[in-house]
């Protein structure tokens, strides 16, 4: 359970750490703006795997598997309740909610890719997010997530 909460609260640590050296590599913060190389790597992953996804102008890709219902969308002031599964590009799961379980948190306290992507669906909406490193954990290693990792999430927005 602690691992899940760490995932959502690690953003401030990641932002601080990007100004430092990480794992012997120079870590340069992009201010949450993906580089052309990150977007190209992500596009290559999507193309190679035959994924049909929409590119957001902020540098991530997404698939809306179910738009949800209602007239409103969550926003940064929302406390969202979700089910999720996070994987690496090789399919290995690095974090998820337990089967049937949910987790709630302020949307403003998570990685930028979630802050941008989760508001694209309504209550009971389902979205797949394909995030470049700058919208995830960047050049910091966090709880077994290697620095500069492309992250893939399946998120069900249960409530907000």
**Interior CA angle at 20 toward 14 and 24, to 5°?**
105
Mean pLDDT score, 113-136: 98
Q: Is the dihedral of CA 106, 137, 153, 40 positive or negative?
A: positive
Mean pLDDT score, 47-58: 97
Mean pLDDT score, 32-43: 95
Mean pLDDT score, 113-140: 96
**CA–CA distance, 42 with 104 (Å, rounded to integer):** 28
Helix, strand, coil percentages in the chain from 3-state DSSP, rounded to 5:
25, 30, 45
Task: Check pLDDT > 90 for residue 31.
Answer: no
CATH class in words for 2-159 = alpha beta
Q: Sorting pLDDT into bands at 50, 70 and 90, what band is 139?
A: confident
Task: Check pLDDT > 60 for residue 112.
Answer: yes
pTM, entire model:
0.83
Q: Residue ranges of the domains in the chain?
A: 2-159
Contact 147, 137 (CB under 8 A): yes
Task: Check pLDDT > 90 for residue 76.
Answer: yes
Question: How confident is the prediction for the chain on average, in pLDDT?
Answer: 86
């Amino acid at each position: 359970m602690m691992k899940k909460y760490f995932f959502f609260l690690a953003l401030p640590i990641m932002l601080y750490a990007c100004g430092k050296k990480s794992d012997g590599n120079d870590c340069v913060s992009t201010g949450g703006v993906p580089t052309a190389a990150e977007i190209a790597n992500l596009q290559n992953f999507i193309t190679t795997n035959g994924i049909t996804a929409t590119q957001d102008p902020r540098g991530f890709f997404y698939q809306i598997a179910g738009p949800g219902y209602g007239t409103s969308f969550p926003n940064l002031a929302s406390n969202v309740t979700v089910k999720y599964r996070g994987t690496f590009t090789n399919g290995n799961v690095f974090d998820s909610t337990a089967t049937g379980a949910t987790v709630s948190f302020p949307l403003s306290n998570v990685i930028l890719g979630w802050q941008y992507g989760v508001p694209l669906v309504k209550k009971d909406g389902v979205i797949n997010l394909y995030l470049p490193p700058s919208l995830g954990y960047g050049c910091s290693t966090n709880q077994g997530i290697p620095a500069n990792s492309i992250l893939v999430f399946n998120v069900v927005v249960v409530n907000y």
